[in-house]
Amino acid sequence: MHRYWLFTSTTYGTWLPGDRRGFVSNVGDKAGSWVRHNLPSTPVDEHMEGLEGYARKNLKGKPIYLHKEQAEIILAQLQETAEYRKWDLLAVAIMANHFHIVVRVKGDPDPNTLLRDFKSYASRALNRKWGKPESETWWTESGSKRKLPNEEAVRQAIEYVRNQQSALLVWIAGERGRKPPV
C-alpha cells in the first residue's frame, strides 16, 4: 500500500495566525473546541487582527524570506531525504515564504514525522551555509498535511504545485531530464 501527501510549510514569521490573506491554524469554535480549517477546496479562516498582532509581537526574530540559492539547497536536501527514506518525491515548489511537496510513501507512516524530517534536514542544510537564524528556526511549527486519496487528487496536487505563482523553483519528477520515481 502507498500513501500520497501534499505538504505545505511556511517560513518563520511570514504567514502568521490571523493573517489577512487567510490562514490555517488552530482556532476556537463556538462550542469552545479547537478546530483547524484545512480541508481541500474549503475556506480557511479569515483575518483576525488581534491574533495576528499577538503573533507578530511574540516573534523571536525577523521573518524569513528565502532566495533562489536557498531554494536550490532546500530542493537538493528534500531529494536526498526522500531517497534516503525511500519515499518518492513527486513535486516540489519553493516560494520565498513557503513550500509545497507532493510525496508517495509506503505504508501509512505518521505525516507529522514525514514533514518534520523534510523540514529538519532542509534546516540543517541551510544552517551549514547561512548559520541558524535569529529565531533559531527557518520554518513555522507544523504545517499542512493533506492526504491525497486517489490518483485524481495526486494529479491535481502536482498541477497545483506546478502552477505556483512567484515560485523560486518548481521541480516535477520525470520532467526536464529527471528520472521519475520507481
pLDDT in tens, 10-25: 998 877 666 666 666 6
- pLDDT tens track for 126-162: 999 999 999 999 998 888 899 999 999 999 999 999 9
- Domain-located, residue 112: yes
Residue 122 near residue 89, CB atoms below 8 Å: no
Q: How many residues does the structure list for the chain?
A: 182
Separation between Cα atoms, residue 34 and residue 53, nearest integer Å: 20
- Domain-located, residue 178: no
- Domain-located, residue 48: no
Longest dimension (CA), the chain: 53
User: For a pLDDT cut of 70, what percent of the chain falls above it?
Assistant: 79
Q: Which residue range is the domain that position 101 belongs to?
A: 2-12+63-172
What confidence score (pLDDT) does residue 35 get?
64
pTM above 0.85, yes or no: no
pLDDT at 182 over 50: no
- Domain-located, residue 58: no
Residue 125 near residue 159, CB atoms below 8 Å: no
For residue 73, the tally of other CB atoms under 10 A from its CB is: 18
pLDDT at 84 over 60: yes
What confidence score (pLDDT) does residue 115 get?
97
In this structure, what CATH number is given to the domain that contains residue 6?
3.30.70.1290
Q: How many separate domains does the chain show?
A: 1
Between residues 136 and 59, the one the model is more confident about: 136
Query: Which residues does residue 139 pair with via DSSP β-bridges, in sequence order?
Result: 11
